Amino acid sequence: MHRITSVLVAAACFAGLIAQPSAMASPGQYQIRNLGTLGGASSGGSSINNFGFVSGVSNLPDNQSEHATAWLGGATLDLGTLGGANSAILWPVKNNFGELVGVAETAQVDPLGENWSCSAFFPTVTGHVCQGFVWRWGHMQALPTLGGNNGFATGANDVGLIVGWAENTVHDPTCTPGSTQVLQFKPVVWGPDPNDVRALPLVGTDTSGAATAINDRGQIVGISGICDQAVGRFSAIHAVLWHGNTVTDLGSLGVPAWNTPMAINQRGVVVGFANAPGGGDPGNFNVHAFIWTQSTGMRDLGTLPGDTTSQALGINDEDIVVGESCGANGCRAVLWQNGNIVAMQSLAPGFPDQLVSANDIDDAGQITGQSFDAVANENYTFIATPNTH
């Protein structure tokens, strides 16, 4: 009963989330508003739950560091760190009880000199240990590793489970020399107590991997591969789904690299990105958005005309998919419905900023992501609300 009451209170708070816009579209299929930053020149929404609670990341005023951020009741809320300079929420978390998960730096310098996965997402590389965190109503708690130094949390469901990846103590020879990654890392589940952690199985002889999303049925998706650089590529030889202790290879688009699920809905439909043929070296980042279902397998969702890469980043229970399509002129926020790709800009006539990426969508069709204001030269978190909402 306590959790249900908390949700109802949260819903009342979240209702004011889209107030105080800095830019708003004219009437179209979506009303789009920009949300605030923590004083820096960039922010981005990574997750939106079914109460419209947006979370993600924002630069601080010096633009040299960023913090995990939530947008609540018209306010921009700094979630803090674990003692270091940076933190972030980077995946669609999806928890509807106000719990948020992500990655944050600690005050400790990494004793092995690893940059870890967080280095790809923070404004500066500090050399500090990064750990996964869970944030519950004002308090950020570090999540345990498998004995190693670093961890990373991505998703949380409504029954108390959190997923991500964490280092153990094995010095893995498949780590790429010079990449500064030393230790093996495994896909993990934390919970129901956040101090409980267990590793998930990998495919065949793979040594490392990561869990990236979970639904309320306990279905988990992620990657399986080798240590490599600990940032995609050959750490993502296989896109996989775990149910119980069984791991299923979801296939590929023909290339054994960058095969990365980003989200799974309650019906078990998976979306993400995977390397497509034609990119030269298999390790080159040449990804296309994909959708996977048990009946059809993995299917290429394509790009906008003229673009070369795309990523599917979020999906709701209506199977509406959001993401980005990128080419020589940058990236554009897109959505896929019934297999058709549409630029979100065309659905919001009059919105003055460029919609760069759509990162998540809730079951009411509200979307969050990142827009670019060319006049101010700043990036903002946006929330897009269907006019039928």
Q: What's the domain range around 151?
A: 79-249
Tell me, what's the pLDDT at 62? 95
Q: Is residue 266 part of a domain?
A: no
Q: Is residue 338 part of a domain?
A: no
Q: Is residue 355 part of a domain?
A: no
Tell me, what's the pLDDT at 28? 63
Q: Is residue 5 part of a domain?
A: no
What pTM was estimated for this model as a whole?
0.93
Whole-number Å distance between alpha carbons of 202 and 187? 8
Tell me, what's the pLDDT at 166? 98
Q: Is residue 120 part of a domain?
A: yes
Q: Is residue 265 part of a domain?
A: no
248-268 pLDDT tens trace: 999 999 999 999 999 999 999
| Other C-beta atoms lying within 10 Å of the C-beta of residue 251 | 16
Tell me, what's the pLDDT at 15? 36
Whole-number Å distance between alpha carbons of 121 and 138? 23
Q: In 178-233, where does DSSP find H-type helix?
A: none
Q: What is the mean pLDDT of the chain?
A: 92
170-198 pLDDT tens trace: 999 999 988 899 999 999 999 999 999 99
Q: Is residue 354 part of a domain?
A: no
CA angle 309, 311, 312 (to 5 degrees): 150
Tell me, what's the pLDDT at 338? 82
Tell me, what's the pLDDT at 389? 54
Tell me, what's the pLDDT at 388? 79
> Reading across the β-sheet that carries 183-190, which strands appear in turn?
151-156, 162-171, 183-190, 197-199
Residue 367 pLDDT grade (very low, low, confident, very high; cuts 50, 70, 90): very high
DSSP 222-267: EEEE--BTSSSGGGGSEEEEEETTEEEE---SS-SS--EEEEE-TT
Residue whose entry in the numeric block shows the structure tokens 């990142």: 370
Inform me whether the pLDDT recorded for 300 exceeds 50.
yes
Rounded alpha-carbon distances, angstroms, from residue 12 to 8, 15, 55: 6, 5, 17
| Strands of 8-50, DSSP E | 30-34, 43-48
7-11 contacts at long range (C-beta below 8 A, 24 or more positions apart): 7/51, 7/96, 7/97, 7/98, 10/51, 10/53, 10/97, 10/98, 11/51
3-31 pLDDT tens trace: 333 332 343 343 333 333 345 544 469 99
30-63 pLDDT tens trace: 999 999 899 999 999 999 999 999 999 999 999 9
83-138 pLDDT tens trace: 999 999 999 999 999 999 999 999 999 999 999 999 899 999 999 999 999 999 88
| Other C-beta atoms lying within 10 Å of the C-beta of residue 330 | 11
Q: Is residue 255 part of a domain?
A: no
Q: Structural domain tally of the chain?
A: 1
